């Protein structure tokens, strides 16, 4: 086996999976409330009333977990001019012509844009969710604001679900990535191929 490089600590991985599990639970319980086609998902949460009670609490805990995750990964997600160039060469990335692409640090531009869309989207979900949270908070807000919040909540959730579907797909598709978040390590070849600038930083080679 080739040399392995540490990519995530145990704390980072725990934090990631807690948020991932809560995101899926918040998503399933939210979809169950959104449309009758998804109502069967209430079976996972103990029926309709329990789904309605649990959904906002799951959301709040997910938000708190995400704040911790975002703080850990904030610095490594700053957008650089190399990232903008990488986005312009999206075609080379999709066709796996990595050699033509600018060198990437710990995260590539696609990962960074996903990160920043979550940084905007998850607080939007929390704020809009509080505005429509009956019976605790909603009575403090005017009806027009609740109407806006319902739309913002559904739109933000929809965009993030699509983003996370791409995230999961990419994690599986780029061979050798899932182990980064399960075992914490990646092969030297993986690091050199996908994140060459990061590889040089951590190995000094």
Which residues are the active-site residues? Answer: 167
Q: Which one among 16, 192, 196, 200 touches ligand HEM, defined by CB under 6 A?
A: 16
The values of phi and psi at residue 46, to 5°, are: 90, 25
The C-alpha atoms of residue 116 and residue 123 are separated, in whole angstroms, by 11
CA distance 205 to 10: 25
Cβ-in-10-Å burial (0-12, 13-18, 19+) of 32 comes to buried
Q: Using CB under 6 A, which of 68, 120, 165, 178 touches ligand HEM?
A: 178
User: Looking only at residues 117 through 136 of this chain, which bind ligand HEM when binding is defined by CB under 6 A?
Assistant: 118
Q: Which is nearer to ligand HEM, 33 or 181 (CB)?
A: 181
**CB-CB contact of 6 with 184 (8 Å):** yes
CA 25 to chain centre: 14
- Give 187's strand partners: 4
Segment near ligand HEM (CB under 6 A); pick from 15-23, 45-53, 85-93, 131-139: 15-23
Taking CB under 6 A as the rule, does residue 114 contact ligand HEM? yes
Question: Should residue 63 be labelled a site residue for ligand HEM when binding is judged by CB under 6 A?
Answer: no
Among 13, 167, 196, 200, binds ligand HEM (CB under 6 A): 167
Task: Give me the residues that bind ligand HEM (CB under 6 A), please.
Answer: 7, 16, 19-20, 23-24, 66, 69, 73, 77, 107, 111, 114-115, 118, 164, 167-168, 171, 177-178, 180-181
């Amino acid at each position: 086996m080739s040399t392995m490089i540490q990519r995530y600590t145990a704390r980072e991985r725990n934090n990631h999976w807690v948020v991932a599990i809560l995101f899926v639970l918040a998503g399933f319980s939210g979809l169950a409330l959104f449309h009758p086609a998804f109502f069967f998902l209430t079976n996972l949460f103990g029926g309709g009333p329990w789904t309605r009670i649990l959904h906002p609490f799951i959301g709040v805990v997910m938000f708190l977990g995400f704040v911790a995750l975002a703080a850990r990964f904030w610095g490594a997600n700053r957008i650089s001019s190399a990232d903008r160039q990488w986005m312009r060469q999206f075609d080379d990335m999709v066709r796996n012509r990595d050699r033509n692409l600018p060198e990437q640090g710990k995260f590539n531009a696609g990962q960074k844009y996903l990160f920043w869309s979550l940084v905007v989207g998850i607080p939007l979900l929390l704020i809009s969710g509080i505005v429509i949270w009956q019976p605790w908070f909603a009575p403090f807000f005017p009806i027009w604001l609740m109407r806006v919040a319902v739309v913002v909540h559904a739109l933000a959730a929809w965009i993030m679900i699509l983003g996370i579907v791409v995230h999961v797909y990419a994690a599986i598709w780029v061979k050798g990535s899932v182990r980064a978040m399960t075992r914490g390590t990646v092969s030297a070849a993986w690091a050199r191929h996908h994140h060459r600038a990061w590889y040089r930083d951590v190995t000094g080679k």
